[in-house]
Amino acid sequence: MLESTDSVLAPSPRRTGAEVLPAAPRSMADTGLDVTILGELATRLLLQRGRMRVDRAAEVLCLPISVSSEVLEILRAQRLVQVAGHGGVGSEVEYELTEAGRSFARDALDRCQYVGPAPVSLAAYQEMVARHSVRQQCLDAASVRAAFADVVVDPDVLDQMGAAMNSGRAVLVYGPAGSGKTFLAERLAALLPGEVLVPYAISVGGEIIQIFDPLIHHPLDAVRGSGLIRRDEDTRWQRCRRPVVIAGGELTLPMLDLQFDPAARFYQAPPHVKANGGLFVVDDLGRQLVSPRELMNRWIVPLDRSRDHLSLHSGFRFVVPFDLAVIFSTNLQPDDLADEAFLRRFGYKVHLGPMPRADYRRIFEQACEQSGVVFDGTAFDWLLAERHEPQERPLLACYPRDLVGRIRDFARYEGAAPVASRAALDRAWWTYFCSPGLSGGGKETHYQKSSY
C-alpha cells in the first residue's frame, strides 16, 4: 500500500488583515498539476460545452488565458482538439474536440466526471492551511466580552470558553439541552480573527477531491473574477470566513473518511477537512451511532499531531492538515460518557447549566423586545412560582425565546396585542412542554382561559 511522503508544514506566525490570493500561475508547470489532469479536465469541459473560446474556458477552469491556451495547444498537437473555423485571435480563438478528442473525453468522463475550476496540488493545500492556521489565532478577553455585551452569559463560562478556544485542544462542553452550548461555540467561532483561502478542489494520486462546500464556506469576494479581470490572482482559491461545521447524531466513522461518489467518480472531502482553519462542533456527543470512545480514538492522533491520514480507493494514503478547533457538546454528565482516562483527552471541560433568576429575567425581557411582545413583570414572577418551581423546570436559556414566540404566534392568530400576561404565558407553557394538566379536586385538566 502506497503512502504519501508529503508532510504538513508547521504553522507560520499570525497574519492580520485581508488575505491575498496567491499569484496566478504563469505556465502549466506553475499549477503544480500533471498535464494529464489538466488535459482530461479541458476535454471534459469541451465535451460538455461544445465549441468554446479560450477566455471562456479559462474562466470556467479558473486559470489564466495563457495557461489555458498552453493546455489546449498541447491537446491540439495530440490532435484531440482543433481550432474551430478561421476567425478570432488570441483569447477569442475557439476550440472544439476532434473525433479522437471526443473518444478521449468520453474515456476521461468514465474515469471522473468533475468539470469546474482546476484543482490545486496537495502540497499547495497543506502550505495554505498552515499559513492561515487557526492555532495561531487568539481570542482575547476584551474582544470576547465586547462581542457578548448584548448576550446574557456567565462571565466565568465565557472566559473558560475563550481560553479553551485558544488552547488548541479538544473541548468538552456539557450541560442540559437548551443551556446554550452550541450557540456559545458558534458565536465564539465567529470571533476568530483572520480569513482562510479554500481551494475548489485538490488533486491527489491522479484523483480529484472537492474541498469547497457552499454550505460551509462563505466567500468574502462578491463575484469570482474572470481570467481577464484578475489575471494576477489564482482564482482556484476562494477567500472565506473561517468555517464552522456542526455534526449531530448523524455522525458516523465512515463520514470521517473520503466520500467517493461512484456516479460522479470523484471524492468529497470529509467534514473535518472542510472545517480546516475553523471550528468543528460534535453536537449531542453520546447520542451518535458511533460511541464517544470510538470517535475520540479516531481523532486522538490528529488532535495531537495536527494531521490526519486519508486513503483513496486505490489504497494510496496521504496526509492532510487537521487544523481546527474541536468542541464536543453533550447533554450527558462526563462520567456517563467514559472513564477518567478517556476524559483526560479533553483539554478543557466547561459546564453550562441553569441560570440565576436575574439572568433568566433579562433573557425574557430581551426576547419580548425582539419579538415585539409587552413584558409583564408580575406575570413573569408568577411563571417562576407556579410553573417552573412546581414542575422543577430549570431556568435554561432556550425557554424565554420559545415561550415568547408562542405568545406572539397566538396574538397574530387572534388579532390581539402581544402581551406576556399570565394567561398568555400559561398557554405558551402547556403547548411548549406538552405537560399533562392537573387532575382531581376540581382543578384544571388542561389550559384554561382566564383573565387572571
Partner residues linked to 317 by β-bridges: 3, 311
> What pairing do the DSSP bridges indicate for beta strands 171-174 and 237-240?
unpaired
Q: Report the interhelical angle of 65-77 vs 35-49 (nearest 10°).
A: 90
Mean pLDDT of the chain: 86
The Cα–Cα gap between 416 and 294 comes to 53
> In the predicted model, is pLDDT for residue 449 greater than 70?
no
DSSP assignment of 145-174 equals: HHHTTTS---HHHHHHHHHHHHHTS-EEEE
The Cα–Cα gap between 306 and 322 comes to 5
* Residues 345-369: tens digit of each pLDDT: 788 899 999 999 999 999 999 999 9
Q: How confident is the model at residue 223 (pLDDT cuts 50, 70, 90)?
A: very low
Buried b (16+ CB within 10 A) or exposed e, 372-399: ebebbeebbebbeeebbeeeebebbbeb
Q: Report the interhelical angle of 35-49 vs 54-61 (nearest 10°).
A: 120
> In the predicted model, is pLDDT for residue 222 greater than 70?
no
User: Which is higher by pLDDT, 168 or 320?
Assistant: 320
Interval 205-229 mean pLDDT: 78
pLDDT at 89: 66
> In the predicted model, is pLDDT for residue 230 greater than 80?
no
Partner residues linked to 431 by β-bridges: none
* Residues 117-155: tens digit of each pLDDT: 999 999 999 999 999 998 887 888 888 888 888 888 888
Name residue, grid cell 397566538. 410
User: Which is higher by pLDDT, 182 or 350?
Assistant: 350
The Cα–Cα gap between 156 and 95 comes to 65
Query: For residue 345, how many other CB atoms are within 10 A of its CB?
Result: 17
* Residues 370-394: tens digit of each pLDDT: 999 999 999 999 999 999 999 999 9
State pTM to two decimals: 0.83
pLDDT at 18: 59
Burial of 20 (0-12, 13-18, 19+ CB in 10 A): exposed
pLDDT at 79: 96
- Weakest mean pLDDT among 76-90, 238-252, 431-445: 431-445
* Residues 16-56: tens digit of each pLDDT: 455 788 999 999 999 999 999 999 999 999 999 999 999 99
The Cα–Cα gap between 202 and 155 comes to 42
Query: For residue 188, how many other CB atoms are within 10 A of its CB?
Result: 22
pLDDT at 87: 58
> In the predicted model, is pLDDT for residue 451 greater than 70?
no
Name residue, grid cell 402581544. 418
> In the predicted model, is pLDDT for residue 247 greater than 70?
yes
Q: How confident is the model at residue 443 (pLDDT cuts 50, 70, 90)?
A: very low
Q: Is 237 helix (H, G, I), strand (E, B) or coil?
A: strand
What one-letter code names the amino acid at 11? P
pLDDT at 450: 37
* Residues 269-292: tens digit of each pLDDT: 999 999 999 999 998 887 777 888
The Cα–Cα gap between 269 and 210 comes to 6
Domains of the chain are 34-116 (1.10.10.10), 121-351 (3.40.50.300), 357-433 (1.10.8)
Query: For residue 298, how many other CB atoms are within 10 A of its CB?
Result: 16
